[in-house]
Structure 1
Amino acid sequence: MTGTVRIDGLATDLCLPAGPGPHPAVVLRTPYDRRRHRGELRGWAARGFAALAQDVRGRYASPGDWHPYGDHEADDGAATVRWVRAQRWSDGKVVAAGASYGAHCALAVAAEADAVLAAVPALGLAETARETTGPERLLARAGWWWEHGDRRVPDPTPLDPAVLDRLPLNGVLDRPSWPALWRARRREPPAAAVPLLAVGGSRDPFAEDTLRLWRRWPGPARLLLGPWGHRLTAGPAPEARPGHRIDLGAVYTGWARAALGGTLTGRGGAVALGGSDHWYPASDPSPATRHPFGTLGGLRLLRGAEFVADPGRPVRSDTLDVPRHGVPDRCLLVSRPLPRPVDLLGPAEARLDAVADTPSADWAVRLVALDPAGRAEPLATGIVRRDRPGPFTVPLGHLARRLAAGTRLRVEVAGHHFPAHARNPHTGEDPATAVRLLPSRRTVRPHGSFLALPVVRGARRTDPVQEIQT
């Protein structure tokens, strides 16, 4: 470690390579304590990069007030990039890098940098608060805001899950910035025609944001998507296999050299297939296979073509248990056992012909795999908000899974997915401010509905390192 410096007052750790230079640089800005990145800085320096980790304004050793996702991240990041380029050891090339909120910081200075590495990106205030389809992300946001919101250092006490039942939603926490989260408006993420590496996990709540960023980036873009959670290789999913172990440090530095060398063009990358050891090129998905509801060749309706979505007793996101008695709280369907293994690679969706008797309704679709012993494993979930009747689509995200022979698919159509998502009150009021809850009667018309899955056969396998660096 070379030492700690102050850049516009912000505490910054700097680690230089052993050689005389000049060197390219990588800049990481974080609200999670720059000292946690010292091993990462040494790794970059060992591969010839000057590496900096900086506490963002108002966090840990940096002065000022902490305003999550504020405009100051772009200003402070730009000042840091200018400082780097003015140093004798700098060759003028800068990679802005970061994970989660740090990826937001990196993207905020995309126009100032020469390349951007965004891992599990939390793109912005409103982007983290709501799905693109409308419903509020409650559990993840409440947990993050309880720990970090309006604080210089994290709150060490755990969040009491019972607070998530409180109404109104914007009064659940006593953090001053919590209500503003629900008033924020979505903005397009900053972009520039510089190389991008977007890294995500198929079990990460921001996986679709990572994919959307990669698809829309105007410059050369690479994607690395593995069977991981928000902590990437440090948090592998149950479907991860030995073939999915990857040295992210080596991948990052190899990509950075190619990006700064100007050898990357177009869009590419690699996606891991969970349940196998294989990687496949990130490319246009195969056409989806339709599985109709209620037909012999598709999904068999078990119960709940008519059900009641009661926000006082919502279908929960933290359990896969399904009640067998009483008034149905969801529409429940199941497939026949798969006669052979099936690979799913690409976006999935449910097309519903369904109606609600309330002015606003959320429709949550959960796809679950049942192994031959009946054990349940979540595959995908999607949720949309509707204020009018008629057929509509519920996106289920990007699937990358191998399903074993004998697996059955269970599809649940419900009115809530709580506490992962806030409860729709069914009154037509804003769920962030509503205090009154009403049950909603729902009807799903099986013969007008289907599940579309991206079944692939004979796809070309690939080496993820080669796909990222060429």
Structure 2
Amino acid sequence: MTAPGRLVDRLLGLPEPASPHAESARDLRVPMPDGVVLVADLYRPRGAGPLPVVLMRTPYGKRQAVVRLFAGVLARRGFQVVVQDVRGVFGSGGEFHAFHDEKDDGLATLKWLRAQPWCDGRVAMVGASYLGFTEWAVAPYADPPLAAMGLGITSSEFASSFYPGGALALHNTLVWSSLMGTQDERRRPFHNRRVRHAMRHLPVGEADLAAIGRPESFLREVASHAGPGDDFWKGTDHSAAVPATTTPTTMVTGWWDLFLRGQLRDFAAMHAEGRQVRITIGPWGHDAKALRATLHDQVSWLNAHLNGDQAQLRRAPVRLHLQQANTWLDFGQWPPPETRPTPLYLSRGLVWDEADADPATFTYDPFDPTPNVGGPLLSPGKGKQRDNGPLERRDDVVVLTGAPLTEDLDVIGPVSATIHVRTSTGRGDLFVRLCDVDRSGVSRNVTDGILRLTSTGTVRAEIEMHPTAYRFRRGHRLRVMLAGGAFPRFARNHGTPEPAGQAVAARRTRFEVFRDADHPSALHLPVWRP
């Protein structure tokens, strides 16, 4: 094994490799049925005969450092790895059309691999983020099935993360589209000043010009298809096929990952059908810590299903980190059966008994949009938990705080809110955030959700919030913040009927949040009592 490989394994905390010497073949040509040729690199133990193949399909370049790290680690452990550039990126032919071609191209690649003399007929797939999506585009339809599947911080469908609650996820969309739109440049932006400034550009559908100086198809597609009932992304949604997928599957996600809700739905759907599936949920975002955990997880899963190491399977289906308790918990299912949905009512503060208070009001101004602090963001160092104090002092938010807790409160599972609300324009985005206020008064976000409103009169808004596993410590207080947005994480709501990607004109919107016996607004917390 080379010195760099030995150092990588040591830094990752991985055991000594079984096959320290690997060889590679570059730019294998994989023909697609329409004549387009995709290219791939092969990594395998030196001198080995036919082996199963571990396939990774990437839009970021097959020689990207992280992808090569994954491939090298697996090859040194006796696995044969093929890393392929998806259609339209780097050496692969055709045009990149995000998410749309991965099913047909993935299945064609699978057929080609099984016909190669160095493949013993078994193919597994691993990857994270978009690479994980390419697995879902193949696994439900592969015949025979994949031998194993390893999924990190990903989901069987991404469209719900483009429009959570019907609001356009501007920050993550523009960051990723700017990255993809500059693949051919040596210095590719991730969250530089120009991209951050472009988030304020109107209309949103042309923010790519401000961010990278030219049109970028993904941003324009997301902005153009943000209306309800649009079927543009229907062909990229593989969630309906998840329950019937028989491939043994392992998953890794984090409490601060933007695809968490979708990945938990995928896990629950497979588990309900009795499939062989497990999931690990850590205190991570869409970040390097999640990737490290994903690599460890996938090495053990491949050892179990390609090398017969059954010891790797002796754990509970659900392993999760309880934040602020510094502990890991094992459960037999998601959500944990020991949790009890408990309403936390909005009153003059927050109460466990039903509320009776006058409406709370605030006004949202799209030309001075309520800013976002923390949360599940793509940009490194910008997401997760942050001090919400400056945000809570603004006059365009409502802040409600509960009494100090007399004992620790553990919340594990899906979180939601039912809010009775009326807007002056018949439009608006209702953003709800739950925070943890410590003994010194610092308020840190725990979970949140948003819902786009399009009806006049009083609306019963059902808001899906981010799932969590979190311990609110004794003496801390729970706090709920209500706002008309969280910019630029979500595109501003203009208070007009203009399509989200084209809107320029704007109207201020006054919100009335009802919290009386006839309109009991509340958060629904999954309280865990073992």
Structure-1 separation of matches of 2:156 and 2:186: 21
With over 3 angstroms needed to count, the CA separation of the structure-2 counterparts of 1:323 and 1:61, relative to structure 1, is closer
Q: Give structure 1 stretches of 5+ with no counterpart.
A: 236-245, 459-470
Report how far residue 230 of structure 1 moved: 0.5
Q: Give structure 2 stretches of 5+ with no counterpart.
A: 1-22, 32-36, 210-214, 226-231, 375-387
State yes or no: 1:119 paired with 2:169. no
Aligned to 1:455: 527
Contact 1:335 1:410 in 2 (8 A): yes
Which deviates more, 169-178 or 215-224?
A: 215-224
Structure 2 counterparts to residues 86-235 of structure 1, below 5 A? 86-110=115-139, 111-112=141-142, 113-121=146-154, 123=156, 126-131=159-164, 133-149=165-181, 151-152=183-184, 156-157=188-189, 158=192, 159-174=194-209, 175-177=215-217, 178-184=219-225, 185-187=232-234, 188-189=237-238, 191=242, 192-217=245-270, 219-231=275-287, 233=289
What value does the CA root-mean-square deviation take over the aligned residues? 2.9
Contact 1:120 1:201 in 2 (8 A): yes
TM-score normalised by structure 1 residue count = 0.86
With over 3 angstroms needed to count, the CA separation of the structure-2 counterparts of 1:45 and 1:262, relative to structure 1, is closer
State yes or no: 1:284 paired with 2:335. yes
Structure 1 SS opposite 2:327: coil
With over 3 angstroms needed to count, the CA separation of the structure-2 counterparts of 1:297 and 1:66, relative to structure 1, is closer
Contact 2:495 2:508 in 1 (8 A): yes
Structure-1 separation of matches of 2:410 and 2:496: 42
Report how far residue 206 of structure 1 moved: 1.4
Count of matched residue positions in the alignment of Structure 1 and Structure 2: 444
Contact 1:138 1:419 in 2 (8 A): yes
Structure-1 separation of matches of 2:393 and 2:158: 41
> What amino acid sits opposite 1:345 in the alignment?
I
Which residue, out of 68, 79, 84, partners 2:108?
79
Contact 2:434 2:445 in 1 (8 A): yes
Report how far residue 322 of structure 1 moved: 4.2
State yes or no: 1:441 paired with 2:504. no
Report how far residue 227 of structure 1 moved: 0.8
Report how far residue 122 of structure 1 moved: 5.6
Query: Structure 1, residues 255-297: CA drift from partner, whole Å, max 9, x if none?
Result: 23445679889x9322221222222324333122211112687
Report how far residue 380 of structure 1 moved: 0.7
Contact 2:174 2:195 in 1 (8 A): no
Same amino acid, percent of matched pairs: 29
State yes or no: 1:401 paired with 2:470. yes
State yes or no: 1:317 paired with 2:372. yes
> What amino acid sits opposite 1:366 in the alignment?
R
Aligned to 1:463: none
Structure-2 separation of matches of 1:129 and 1:232: 22
Report how far residue 334 of structure 1 moved: 0.6
Contact 2:348 2:357 in 1 (8 A): no
Structure 2 SS opposite 1:426: coil
TM-score normalised by structure 2 residue count = 0.77
Structure 2 counterparts to residues 387-398 of structure 1, below 5 A? 387-388=454-455, 389-398=458-467
Structure-1 separation of matches of 2:357 and 2:197: 32
With over 3 angstroms needed to count, the CA separation of the structure-2 counterparts of 1:301 and 1:418, relative to structure 1, is farther
With over 3 angstroms needed to count, the CA separation of the structure-2 counterparts of 1:366 and 1:247, relative to structure 1, is closer
Query: Structure 1, residues 213-237: CA drift from partner, whole Å, max 9, x if none?
Result: 22234643322211111125258xx
Which residue, out of 450, 453, 463, partners 1:383?
450
Structure-2 separation of matches of 1:155 and 1:202: 30
> What amino acid sits opposite 1:115 in the alignment?
A
With over 3 angstroms needed to count, the CA separation of the structure-2 counterparts of 1:303 and 1:296, relative to structure 1, is closer
Aligned to 1:461: none
With over 3 angstroms needed to count, the CA separation of the structure-2 counterparts of 1:124 and 1:257, relative to structure 1, is same
With over 3 angstroms needed to count, the CA separation of the structure-2 counterparts of 1:122 and 1:422, relative to structure 1, is farther
Structure 1 SS opposite 2:221: helix
Report how far residue 148 of structure 1 moved: 0.9
Aligned to 2:12: none
Aligned to 2:74: 44
